[in-house]
Amino acid sequence: MASLSWNDNYSVNIKEIDDQHKRLLVLVGNLHAAMLEGQGKQALGKVLDGVVAYAANHFAAEERLMKANGYPEYEEHRTIHQKMTQKVLDIQKQYHSGKVNITLETMKFLEDWVAKHIMGTDKKYGPYLNGKGVY
Ligand SMILES: [Fe+2]
């Protein structure tokens, strides 16, 4: 399974957010590569921590942008972010406690987690924010 990479279909037409999504995909891709290389638990854990931390900052940035512009689906979007964060925190916790490994299934979950969210949820605020002059 190849790791997920950016393509222009992911664009929400807001540069700051597209750049963050690109970075998130790179970080998830790095985790995928580290897993395939069979890197040690500590090294893999650090890459996973990086994904979790970056996602948290990215969600916060999106929420600030939506809120500042009065996006009507802000609350709904924030709830989705909270659920996504919970899932990834669970994976992180289980990994660090030695209960689970990072497997292809984990990677598939994380790759879907990013791609489906961008395509299904983030894409919705693009036209609204563009209408507010945010590009
Ligand atoms: Fe989002």
Sorting pLDDT into bands at 50, 70 and 90, what band is 1?
Answer: low
Q: What is the pTM of this model?
A: 0.95
Specify the CATH number for the domain of residue 19: 1.20.120.50
Q: How many CB atoms lie within 10 A of CB 67?
A: 13
Domain that holds residue 32: 15-128
**Ligand 1 center from residue 48 Cα (angstroms):** 19
What does the pLDDT look like over 85-126, one tens digit per residue?
Answer: 999 999 999 999 999 999 999 999 999 999 999 999 999 999
**Ligand 1 center from residue 94 Cα (angstroms):** 24
Look at residue 101 and tell me if it is in a domain.
yes
**Ligand 1 center from residue 72 Cα (angstroms):** 14
What does the pLDDT look like over 16-33, one tens digit per residue?
Answer: 999 999 999 999 999 999
**Ligand 1 center from residue 118 Cα (angstroms):** 7
Sorting pLDDT into bands at 50, 70 and 90, what band is 3?
Answer: confident
Look at residue 135 and tell me if it is in a domain.
no
Q: How many structural domains comprise the chain?
A: 1
Look at residue 37 and tell me if it is in a domain.
yes
